[in-house]
Structures are given as C-alpha cells and as structure tokens.
C-alpha cells in the first residue's frame, strides 16, 4: 500500500521523494543495555528518517549468558 510501511505507520510520499537520487547520510543506532536488555527495534527511527532526511539502521546483538557463546575461553 503506497504511503504505508510494514508496521502500518503512514508516511506521506510524493513522486519527487521516489525519484530523489541524492545520497543521504546513514545513522547507525546500536542500543545500550549493558548486555542485559534492549533491542534495536525499541526505538522508532522513522521520525529521524522523515525529519532528518537520513537513512536509519538499527541492529541487534546477543544479550545475557549467550552474548559471548562460542568464543574461546580466556586463558
């Protein structure tokens, strides 16, 4: 559906937006939480993307006891 993203939030788009080929800055958001809690999708980056005219990228990583699973033990 035009004007909606996968979460159902409405974003107004015009033909000029679609045809805009200029490069945009990229903002990478890595959540905090001391390896105990949090996720990249806790924060809605669509506001920054819309008003800041940037591409927002979020990421997730393992938390808790499995955060470093598979790494060699410290000797």
Write down the domain spans for the chain.
22-66
Band of the pLDDT at 30, cuts 50, 70, 90? Answer: confident
Q: How confident is the model at residue 1 (pLDDT cuts 50, 70, 90)?
A: very low
β partners of residue 27: 56
pLDDT at 71 over 70: no
Query: Among the residues of the chain, which ranges form H helices?
Result: 15-19, 46-52
For residues 58-74, b (16+ Cβ closer than 10 Å) or e, as one string?
Answer: beeeeeeeeeeeeeeee
Q: What number is the average pLDDT over the span 6-20? A: 59
- The conformation of residue 71, written as its DSSP 8-state character, comes to S
Greater confidence (19 vs 23) lies with 23
């Amino acid at each position: 559906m035009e004007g909606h993203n996968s979460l159902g939030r409405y974003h107004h788009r015009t033909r000029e937006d679609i045809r805009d080929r200029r490069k945009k800055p990229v903002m990478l958001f890595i959540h905090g939480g001391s390896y105990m809690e949090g996720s990249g999708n806790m924060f809605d980056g669509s506001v920054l993307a819309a008003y800041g005219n940037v591409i927002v990228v979020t990421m997730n990583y393992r938390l808790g006891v499995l955060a470093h699973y598979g790494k060699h033990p410290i000797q």
